[in-house]
Structure formats: structure tokens, C-alpha cells
Amino acid sequence: MRFIFKTDYGQDIKLAKHGGHIFWYSLLLLLLAAPWLFAEYWLAQLTFILIYAIAGLGLMLLAGFTGLFSLGHAAFLGVGAYTQAVMTNAGVPFPIALACAAGLSAAVGLVVGLPALRVKGIYLGIATLSFGFIVEEVFARWESVTGGNAGIHIKAPDMFGWKLGSGEAFYFLCLVIAIGATLGILNLLRSPTGRAFVAIRDSEISAQSMGIHLARYKTLSFALSAGLAGIAGALYAHKLQFISPDQFNILQSIDLLLMIVVGGLGSVHGAFLGAIFLISMPQAIAMVKDYLPAFIGQAPGLQGLVYGLVLIGFVLFEPLGLYGRWLKIRTYLQTFPFYRKGMFKRQKSFQKSDRLK
């Protein structure tokens, strides 16, 4: 006699997928309705979140999925911003100028990626940091093109005669580009190229033994990351309508790196969560200042202190960032009341030498 047990696992999977679709559709509807739901100030902050998320996606591809850290990523942001400003002021339509900004940033990233073929870790960080200082100095000295330290103004985006001067129109433009960049990154990570990036991050020796061309994929990762940063820089320039060299210094690069570390390295969600953190944290600090003692609230380096403490806290207690914390909360809710206390206990890993990585 044979017993056949019928289960509803398939139905549960369908319901889970359906619930996930409902969440994303609801989020999309909320973003589409944002100009009518939020005041002008909050809409501007949401626009900055989208812009930083695009730059975060590029840096996440480089650092989170390929394992190549950059301490000069603000330079690519600046290349895209100045390219967009110069071409827009010259009367070039927005799509063409944006494509040129992304292309030039990607070309510069390809050149900067060459040192990644021989150095890695802290040495690669120092190389990219030096590149950031060089680019910032070029922006300040090339006055005939960049305006020098006085900066340069930029016109509103011109879509072949259609001016995007209002905050609502520019928000929708950033939303479309952010969605396109996200879908592009997700599809790239599922392709052989994306899997090669992840293999290089996990172990260069193992990736090379499987036939992955390290030089090709490392430079490609730098180029794609720089291209996305260039797109974000172009949108950043249009949003501020004025750019200067001091906007693309080492502090901006550290903010971008802090954004993906706090958001969660190795996850597309982490780029958006990190962008929300980066934009909302200054407002939160400003609101708390009035309730702190004067010698603390009026200290000039309060924001940097808070950022440093937050970064140390995440590195020590939550290396997977905000997205990792959300995964643990979601797993706890899904397994409740069968949750085990040591389910998320961190395990130490030991490495004999970086040479064997």
C-alpha cells in the first residue's frame, strides 16, 4: 500500500511570489505618486536619494561584487558632472550629453582600472585616492573649461526642446534612470560576466583557474562602475545647477564608500538603503543637536564623529549592513515561534595569507 501526501508548497511559493510582487508594485506606485504626496523639500531629498543610489549601484558593482575598493570614486562623479555641464551649456540635448558623460567617465575608469591588475586591497585604495586628488586639482586648474574654483553653472535639462525645469519633472527623470540602472545591474549579475565578477571577489586564484581573464573583468568592472558614477554626476549637476571642485573631494568619496558599507556590501538593496542613510542622517543630526549639551551640539566635527561611530558599529556588529539586518528580521518573523537563539551567531574565519586568497 502506498500513501500519497498532498502538500501545498507550490501554493505557498505562489503566494510568496505574489506577496513580493504586491510590495514592489506598491512601492512603485508610491514613488510615482511622490510629487503629489510630499512637499517640495522632501521631494528634493528623494531625488538626491535616487541620484546617490545610482552612484551606489556602480560602487557596489565594483566593491561589493568584484571586491575592488575605490577611495576616489567622487572623481568619476565629477567627470560626469563637468562633462554634462559643459555639453549642456553648449546646447547639446540632454540624452546625448548624458551618454557622453557616462562614456567619458567609463573611459577614465578603464584607465584607472589598470593599476588594479597589479595591486589590490589597501594599495588599490591608495592608488584610487591619488587619482581622486589629481582629478580634483585638474578641475580647479582648468579654468577655461571648468571655471576653476569659482565653479560653473548648468542649464536645466533639454530633451530635444522639452525643458525639464520643474522639480517634479526632474524627479521622474531620475526615477526612470534609477529603475533602468537597477534592472541593468540585476541582469548583469545573472549573466556570465556578473558571475565572473563574484568569482574574482571570492578568490582570484580560483577564478583564474576556471578560465576567467582577471585583467579583462577587473577593468570592465571599473569602467561600468565609473560609467554609473558619471550618470549620477550628470544628474547631480542638474539638480544643484552649480558645481565646483570642492564638491568632488575625498570627503565625497568616503561618503560613497560609507553608503555601501552601511547599506550592505554585496546587495543591490544596500545601495538604496545606504543612499537613504546618507541623505537622512544629516537631517537627523540637525534635529538632535538642539537637545544635546552645547559643547557637543555645537562641535564642528559632530557629523563626522557620528558617521565614524556608525561605521565602526556596523563593521563590528553588523558587517552585512542594513540589508543584512533586514534579512535577519525577516527570517525571525518567518520562523517565529521556532526561532533558535544561535541562528545568526557569527562564526570566525581565519585566513593564512592574503596571497592564498
In tens, the pLDDT along 120-146 reads 778 888 888 888 889 889 898 888 888
Q: How many helices (H) and strands (E) does the chain have?
A: 16, 4
What is this structure's pTM?
Answer: 0.86
- For residue 107, pLDDT over 60 is answered with yes
pLDDT, mean of residues 55-84: 90
What confidence tens digit (pLDDT) does each residue in 237-248 have?
989 888 888 888
Per-residue pLDDT band at 161 (split at 50, 70, 90):
low
Distances (CA, A) of 216 to 32, 59, 155, 357: 39, 18, 38, 19
Least confident stretch, 7-16, 241-250, 301-310: 7-16
In degrees, rounded to 5, the angle at the alpha carbon of residue 250 between the alpha carbons of residues 248 and 251 is 85
E strands within the chain?
A: 152-153, 158-159, 162-163, 242-243
Give the pLDDT of residue 346.
Answer: 59
Give the pLDDT of residue 347.
Answer: 54
Average per-residue pLDDT for the chain: 82
